Structure 1
Amino acid sequence: MTTSPAPLTPAEPAAVPRSVLLGRHGAVEGEGADAGVAAHYGDPMREQRLLAEGLAVVDLSHRGVVRIAGPDRLTWLHSMTTQELTGLAPRTSRESLVLSPKGHVEHALHLVDDGEALWVTVEPGTAPALVAWLASMRFMLRVEVTDVTDDWAVLGEPIGAESVDGEPLAWVDAWPALVGDTVAYGPVEGHAGEGRAWRELLVPRGDLEAAVGDRPLAGTWAAEALRVSAWRPRLGAETDHRTIPHEVDWLRTAVHLHKGCYRGQETIARVHNLGRPPRRLVFLHLDGSGHVLPEAGSPVEVGGREVGRLTSVARHHEDGPVALAVVKRSVPEDAEFLVDGIAGTQIVVVRG
């Protein structure tokens, strides 16, 4: 079982469409950030194995979809976000972040261009806030920003290849590769996410059933378990209002270190060049002898002292109960964690 991430901001996220695939036999709707789609279809472990084997697909139609048209779209978004986007070729995926002026993560953008428009998928319920902010930054540039969530849906596929002509447009997750001029705060070789193939397929919402076809469906519990086991941060789960990208190793896929100025760049450069992130992401193997797992948001303790919080929890089909947590950088790498009375052995993902 996976605990859904908390809202991205103190404001309530917008309502999300309820998927037609919840009508499938055995579908159990998710909760929290993953409401509106199925958490599972009756057999979460089997679904997870099928997904890991590359056979199943995941309904992610609760994700927001934004379309940015106009000849200035790439240079405009490049100037405001963390990744190099100028000259982005059609059907080439990128991940970029919107930061606050102080460098805190506000939005995570999954981007792919079709040659005429840039398509962006975002966390459920956050598209209206993103569109409103982008609209306020348009000025006199030739761009048009539209929230198309009601008309377009997302399917998650265990495929690592970019889409080609004749296929629906897709965003490919590069995690844990280093994309562009950047750096890793976790391991480069031997990363737990190596070999993980994942992409988000964009399909008209009315064609969702046809896009799934006869492939088995896996729920978000299965997808989240594989994400956690790959140490992959998720906005609203591993992040809070003060998260900077270094703390969760997000520079590796989403931040270009030597591009032009953008909001929050000063924090990115200062922490990278002179300082250390105040917190770090850790992966936990939890004691699975009990039947109940701790909830996301639970305090993480070392020696009776609170040092952080649990961010995501899942049951992995091979590794059992696993979790991600964000803890103080000063916590020793060999410390034993305790979460709601459950012991956790840490694997350090981000090093200070």
Structure 2
Amino acid sequence: MSESVRITPSPLLTTAGAVPNPDDSPDAGVAWHYGDPLREQRTAERAVAIVDRSNRFVLSIGGDERLSWLHTISSQHVTNLPDGTSAENLSLDLNGRVEHHFVLTDQVGVTWIDTEATTGPELLTFLQKMVFWAKAEPKPEPETAVLSLLGPDVRRPRFLEALGIAELPGTYEAVALPGGGFLRSMPWPGEHAWDLVVPRERLGDWWRTLTEAGAEPAGTWAFEALRVTALRPRLGLDTDDRTIPHEVGWIGGVAEHGAVHLDKGCYRGQETVARVHNLGKPPRHLVLLHLDGSADTRPVPGDAVTAGGRTVGRVGTVVDHHELGPIALALLKRSVPADTALEAGNTAAAIDADSVPDHDDFQPGRAAVDRLRGR
């Protein structure tokens, strides 16, 4: 990663009790927890927690044609995205496999994108190579950082006052913050989730203002636990180099909280998306696994999931949840029944039946073929 796009370790790691993520973690450089990760999860669900996610890679796109250009090279419908609106988006390869997942917000003539620290530089390079003659200017924004506020109590007047806004934005909407940056509402990792995308030099100011208003520090452990129970995938942990959007629940426009709009013009990988939507079903799907809490070891992302010694999938994010105990996301073959006894790595595992997607949706292409064949 070049120095011009490097995301520096967070200054908030000096916060009392902060335990940093391991160096090999995709969240290295920010706090993993503050001494009691299970309590931090409860706080994020029931009160207000603030999470340092300043390891996210941030870039901006200026230029009058930024949205129409981005529309042509990505999976989401963003040509007419209103000012102050956000969306999730993907970059796919020619075979429809996911290369990048990112969140974008169009705010006062600039499109802001944040994505994984590990793959952000590659996304930036791809965007810069695809500009050609369009009036669009992608550039890194290492001096911009992300914080997340989680919990229902963010709606209380004292937090609106601390944020300096009159009301909270609706899902995928954004409002400007005093001193620069914006507050964005997200549909995950929990029901009550907001991101602050702000100047990095003001991270400490915002942290202090919001904790003084009553937000409690929580690490990425808490954020990830909520994300896993919400069945929200994370690129590189819950996906591999064969993952297509249908397998991990990324299908849908902004209104469906998805990242792939099914009614838009051509883009790289569209043929696979359309074929699976109209004629087929995904070969795998994302499910929640309950892991044996008495086991001496835990699986890690990328470990095989096996049934009777036969590989049927791969392990994704593994985390301890304050109510469910050890859990994981996993990409499994669609044909695996929900009551199958599994092993995730060397740990016994069971599928959460409620997490299994329904693949019986109406398929217009398949219906047309059946009509032609007289079925």
Residues 1:220 and 2:229 are matched in the alignment:
no
Q: Distance in 2 between matches of 1:34 and 1:166?
A: 26
Q: Distance in 2 between matches of 1:322 and 1:170?
A: 31
Instruction: Letter of the 1:104 partner, please give it.
Output: R
Q: Is the 8 A contact 1:280 1:351 kept in 2?
A: no
Q: Is the 8 A contact 1:39 1:219 kept in 2?
A: yes
Q: Secondary structure at the match of 1:199?
A: strand
Structure 1 residue 53, shift from structure 2 partner: 1.9
In structure 2, which of residues 136, 149, 154 is the aligned counterpart of residue 157 of structure 1?
149
Q: Secondary structure at the match of 2:236?
A: coil
So what's the TM-score if we normalise by structure 1?
0.86
Q: Which residue of 2 aligns with 1:98?
A: 91
Structure 1 residue 20, shift from structure 2 partner: 0.3
CA RMSD of aligned residues (A): 1.8
Q: Distance in 1 between matches of 2:16 and 2:296?
A: 26
Q: Secondary structure at the match of 1:164?
A: strand
- Residue-by-residue CA offset, 1:31-87 (whole Å, 9 max, x unaligned): 321101011111111111111124111100000001001110110101111111022
Q: Secondary structure at the match of 1:138?
A: coil
Q: Which residue of 2 aligns with 1:170?
A: 183
Q: Which residue of 1 aligns with 2:288?
A: 283
Q: Distance in 2 between matches of 1:125 and 1:329?
A: 29
1:331–1:207: structure 2 CA closer, same or farther, 3 Å change rule?
A: same
Q: Distance in 2 between matches of 1:327 and 1:125?
A: 25
Residues 1:61 and 2:50 are matched in the alignment:
no
Q: Which residue of 1 aligns with 2:301?
A: 296
Residues 1:312 and 2:317 are matched in the alignment:
yes
Instruction: Letter of the 1:227 partner, please give it.
Output: R
Q: Which residue of 2 aligns with 1:338?
A: 343
Which structure has more RCO (C-alpha within 8 Å, separation ≥ 6)? 1
**Stretch moving more, 77-86 or 155-164:** 155-164
Q: Distance in 2 between matches of 1:19 and 1:136?
A: 30
Q: Is the 8 A contact 1:37 1:62 kept in 2?
A: yes
Residues 1:24 and 2:19 are matched in the alignment:
no
1:54–1:114: structure 2 CA closer, same or farther, 3 Å change rule?
A: farther
Structure 1 residue 308, shift from structure 2 partner: 1.0
State the identity %.
47
Q: Which residue of 1 aligns with 2:162?
A: none
- Residue-by-residue CA offset, 1:108-130 (whole Å, 9 max, x unaligned): 12011112100000011322211
Instruction: Letter of the 2:93 partner, please give it.
Output: S
Runs of 4+ in 1 over 6 A off after TM superposition: none
In structure 1, which of residues 198, 202, 205 is the aligned counterpart of residue 197 of structure 2?
202
- Residue-by-residue CA offset, 1:200-246 (whole Å, 9 max, x unaligned): 21010010011112232111111101100111111111111111000
Instruction: Letter of the 2:183 partner, please give it.
Output: A
So what's the TM-score if we normalise by structure 2?
0.81
- Residue-by-residue CA offset, 1:13-45 (whole Å, 9 max, x unaligned): x75310001111221111321101011111111
Q: Distance in 1 between matches of 2:17 and 2:331?
A: 34
Q: Distance in 2 between matches of 1:340 and 1:129?
A: 30
Q: Is the 8 A contact 1:89 1:115 kept in 2?
A: no
Structure having the higher helix fraction is: 2
Q: Distance in 1 between matches of 2:119 and 2:308?
A: 38
Give structure 1 stretches of 5+ with no counterpart. Answer: 1-13, 176-192
Q: Distance in 2 between matches of 1:171 and 1:338?
A: 39
